Amino acid sequence: MFLIIRRPQLRQQLRRLYRSMHELHDRSVAEKRRADTAAQELEQLQLAVNVFRRQSIEIQATISRLDIRESAEAWALGAHIIALLDGPVPPGPPPRFCPSCQIADVEDYDLPIPHTDDSAPCARCRRCGHNWALDPAADGCCAACGGSGNLGRQGLDDPPCPCMTPEQDHLRRIRSGANDHAGIGRAIPLS
């Protein structure tokens, strides 16, 4: 059935009414979709909260067993808490990232130090080709010691390499433990 309406004002009013009915229907569909999406997000949030509550109960139970006086047990429990928070730790060494491109595609190699039988451990990024030394003390700048200050005998009382300044030698002796006094670990200043 079609109505033939001859009055233009009435025709415009009916068109507006028809459009508003469609817009109202479209709004209700959109509101239903928003409500469904909000309900799904709420369910996912409730699941995440329940998982977090279970984890926090486990963490609180583990922390309550923590005894500061037993340092070995405290370290083990601390590692357990970190594993609960971060998830399981993958076996093997942690991945090393390139400092320039931040990608974990790194290979290790030994850079020979000239005129010695020693080498410095280094790493190279397979993507960008960036090279860096893994041991900051090892350097190829000195052919005698490789930048470490030790002349190869590795004794605590060995004389330092001539390339070392007195301040660097003092730090070398502290790092190597030559200045430990009665096992306390205090450095005795060299005079």
What is the structure's pLDDT at 65? 58
Q: What is the DSSP string of 15-82?
A: HHHHHHHHHHHHHHHHHHHHHHHHHHHHHHHHHHHHHHHHHHHHHHHHHHT--TT-HHHHHHHHHHHH
Q: And the tokens for 154?
A: 């590795």
Same domain, 71 and 23: yes
Note whether 65 and 117 are same-domain residues: no
Out of 56, 86, 116, a domain closes at 86
100 lies in some domain:
no
Per the structure, the complete domain to which residue 135 belongs is given by: 106-176
- 75 & 44 share domain: yes
Q: State residue 176's pLDDT score.
A: 55
- Total of domains in the chain: 2
Q: Could you identify the residue written with the tokens 């990024």?
A: 125
| Other CB atoms within 10 A of residue 185 CB | 10
* Res 26: pLDDT: 72
Final residue in a domain of this structure, among 86, 117, 136: 86
Task: Answer yes or no: do 114 and 72 share one domain.
Answer: no
Asked whether residue 29 falls in the same domain as residue 81, the answer is yes
Q: End of a domain among 51, 86, 121?
A: 86
Residues 119 and 76 in one domain: no
pLDDT one digit per residue (tens) for the chain, 191 residues: 455 556 666 667 777 777 777 776 777 777 777 777 777 877 777 777 777 777 776 666 666 655 554 566 666 666 677 677 766 656 666 677 787 887 778 888 887 877 777 777 788 888 888 887 776 555 555 656 666 666 665 555 666 676 666 666 666 566 555 444 444 444 444 43
Instruction: Check whether residue 32 and residue 71 sit in a common domain.
Output: yes
Residue 139 inside a domain? The answer is yes
